[in-house]
Amino acid sequence: MSVATRSRSGGRAGRRALRTAPDHQMLPGLTRKLPLCEPLDQDQIERLDDASMKILEEVGIIFRDAIALDDWRKAGAKVEGERVYLDRGLVRELIRTIPSSFTYHARNPAKNIPLGGNRSMFVPMTGAPFIRDLNDERRNPTLEDLAMFHKLSHMLPAMHSSAHHIVEPYDHPISHRHLRITYSSIKYSDKTFMGMTTSPKNAEDVMEMCALLFGEDYLEDHPVTTGNCNGNSPLVWDETMLGAMRAFSKRNQPVLCSPFVLGGANTPASVVPAVAQLNAEALSALAYTQVIRKGAPAIYGHYLSTVSMKSGAPMAGTPEISLMNFLIGQLARYYDVPWRTSGSLGGAKTFDAQAGYESAATLSAVIHAGANYIWHAAGWNEAGMHCSVAKFIVDAEQCAMAYRMAEGPRWDDFDEALSAVRDVGPGGHYLGHPHTQENFQRAFFMPDMFDNNSIEQWKAEGEVEITERALTQARKLLLEYQEPKLDEAKNEAILDYIARREREIPAEDALNQEF
């Protein structure tokens, strides 16, 4: 064999090895280049803004928290009992100090994520009280199950965060869970993570653990985690969420200011008025973050669903949800603040066609709406009641596909590819052309979870459906997982802190509100 032949053979073999080798490298934060879907004209945006401001000025927002009420009085708001009336001038002045963009800093700096403007990230679902496990059986989750999801989040390229309690670890007391959940988020992935806000004391614990991991001074000007504060629609913010918000904002860490919207149940049964209410709720919380600490990063958030008028059950993937996301995206850009939405919601009870259609409709809409923080992007099903391992895997691949779409068309090989047209000419094919050989992997996304073979080949290979393929892939990823080791001294310090706090907090099935 000639040297040239050996070289070509080695080159082909090398490329083949590269193609088949596992690649779990995280995709950089998404830079969106597609035009946005913006149904509102400028007059309609201003009309919606005016409606929201009138709600704040004339109806008011309930703040069920003595500290927040005192803060608002000092800030110049009108306070009557627990109801706060916010002047639009004050609201605009406050939200103007929210950063329009910032960068999340992971413990692996190569996995830092810019957010805001045309920069987006995908975050797994959280909060599921049940799991559909590696055997596709629905059951109560454990801390080991949570660790499994954090490992998968670490391995899946389109997931930019390990989130926090993807599933609830029932084998630990509620009052201690936040400590173990946060440690699992930190230990099994070196991506950015979310911090528990289930009580003000729990949020303070998360901040202390972040300080041990990154350094107290580092938190002052480096966002490292995300807190979520849900409002009680209509027009109420409670003591638990406001206390947790203070814990994060005081330490200059981002919070999602998220009204919990069930359209038609706790908002008017109409798209535009529902968004007007949601916008008022979000603005009141965004403004309060700046009362707590001017310049603290905050994200315009929401959990958004519509309600079936037949059963009262929350729905996913409906056209009205997409429309509301389009409108909310325009409003967030009008106020020049980053915004959060939900990415792959499904109401199906199993990973079936309904789950796929609902999630695909939702994900496509939020990409075209220009969302920045795309939460619940993998695993969500049964209206959030369970996280499905199979759906988690396929959703993550869908996020990678959405990522590729949102990057827009590539022009870098335009001239080279046009030269191939001349080389091949009429009646030929491109399969063996050098341009195809060099570019086929990046030219068209090739999903691992979809079977595009002939039905004969599919039957010969065992007629494997997508759920089984996804579970097989999950097991493979877990076998390939390599833990990104924490610095030993930091690990010991965090474990010592957890041990001390577990001694101090009574192991009771209640939220830690006092200890």
Residue 4 has pLDDT above 50, yes or no: no
Distance CA(62)–CA(82), nearest Å, equals 5
Integer Cα distance of 131 and 140 in angstroms = 6
In total, the chain counts a number of residues equal to 515
What residue type is assigned to position 220 of the chain? Answer: E
pLDDT at position 45 is 98
Nearest partner of 292 among 252, 332, 338, judged by Cα = 252
| 8: Cα within 13 Å, side-chain hemisphere | 4
Q: For 329-369, how does the pLDDT look when each residue is reduced to its tens digit (9 = 90+)?
A: 999 999 999 999 999 999 999 999 999 999 999 999 999 99
Query: Residue 11: which pLDDT band, with cuts at 50, 70 and 90?
Result: low
- In the predicted structure, residue 1 carries a pLDDT above the cut 70: no
Give backbone dihedrals phi and psi of 225, rounded to 5 degrees, phi first.
-150, 175
Report the DSSP pairing between strands 78-80 and 102-104. unpaired
Q: How far is 417 from 21, CA to CA, in rounded Å?
A: 27
Q: What's residue 39's pLDDT?
A: 98
pLDDT surpassing 60 at residue 12:
no
pTM (2 decimals)?
Answer: 0.94
Judge whether residue 21 has pLDDT over 80.
no
Average confidence (pLDDT) over 463-471: 97
Kindly state the percentage of the chain with pLDDT values over 90: 90
pLDDT band at 312 (very low <50, low <70, confident <90, very high): confident
Compare 441 and 487 and report the one with higher pLDDT: 487
Task: Extract long-range pairs of 429-437: CB within 8 Å, 24+ residues apart.
Answer: none
State the pLDDT at residue 20: 56
What whole-number percentage of the chain has pLDDT above 70?
96
User: Is the pLDDT confidence value at 87 over 60?
Assistant: yes
pLDDT above 80 for 164: yes
Residue 176: phi, psi to the nearest 5? Answer: -105, -10
Residue 515: which pLDDT band, with cuts at 50, 70 and 90? confident
Q: What was the pLDDT predicted at 19? A: 55
Cis peptide before 234 (omega within 30 of 0): yes
Cβ–Cβ under 8 Å, residues 192 and 227:
no
Secondary structure of residue 387 in the 3-state scheme: strand
Residue 59, both tokens: 């109806």
CA distance 29 to 82: 41
Tell me the per-residue pLDDT of 231-288, one tens digit each, with 9 for 90 and over.
999 999 999 999 999 999 999 999 999 999 999 999 999 999 999 999 999 999 999 9
Residues forming beta bridges with residue 306, ordered by sequence position = 263, 315
Concatenated DSSP letters of 453-499: S-HHHHHHTT---HHHHHHHHHHHHHHH----PPPHHHHHHHHHHHH
Quote the pLDDT of residue 310.
87
pLDDT over threshold 60, residue 61: yes
CA gyration radius for the chain?
A: 24
| pLDDT tens-digit series, residues 101-146 | 999 999 999 999 999 999 999 999 999 999 999 999 999 999 999 9
- Exposed / middle / buried, residue 336 (Cβ in 10 Å: 0-12, 13-18, 19+): middle
- Give residue-wise pLDDT tens across range 409-455: 999 999 999 999 999 999 999 999 999 899 888 889 999 999 999 99
C-alpha 84 chain-centroid distance = 31
Q: Who has greater pLDDT, 505 or 5?
A: 505
The number of helices, as runs of H, and strands, as runs of E, in the chain is 18, 20
Quote the pLDDT of residue 313.
Answer: 87
Would you call 231 helix, strand, or coil by DSSP? strand
Considering the chain, what is the average pLDDT of its residues?
94
Counting beta carbons within 10 angstroms of the beta carbon of residue 507, is it exposed (0 to 12), middle (13 to 18) or buried (19 or more)? Answer: exposed
**pLDDT of 9 higher than 70:** no
Residue 171 predicted with pLDDT over 70: yes
Model confidence at 7: pLDDT above 70: no
**What sign does the CA torsion over 488, 490, 491, 492 have?**
positive
